[in-house]
Amino acid sequence: MSDDKNSPELPERITVLATEFTPAAMEFHRRNMSEKGYRMEGQIVQRKFQLIEGMGAPADLFDGKQMYAVTFVRKGAEK
């Protein structure tokens, strides 16, 4: 594999959002994340996402629709 799992260019964490559970669950295998030096962090759960800009009130993302989120963390990265 051409990806160097110890490469500093790889992000420490990658979070993927999906509208359905199955695509989120399959992403780890589809992208060969283990070979790239990642493990799955926590559970795949639905979450509501909001964005705060400056000191304003948070605004719903995705029209308030809950999305499934899965986070991959590089092995050896601190929590």
Per-residue model confidence as pLDDT tens digits over 14-36: 999 999 999 999 999 999 999 99
Among 38, 44, 27, smallest CA distance to 4 is for: 38
Q: Is 50 exceeded by the pLDDT of residue 47? A: yes
Q: What is the largest CA-CA distance in the chain?
A: 45
Provide the terminal-to-terminal Cα distance of the chain, rounded to the nearest Å: 27
Which comes out higher in pLDDT, residue 10 or 56? 56
Q: For the full predicted model, state whether its pTM sits above 0.85.
A: no
The residue whose two tokens read 């999305």 is: 67
User: For residue 48, what pLDDT band results from cuts at 50, 70 and 90?
Assistant: very high
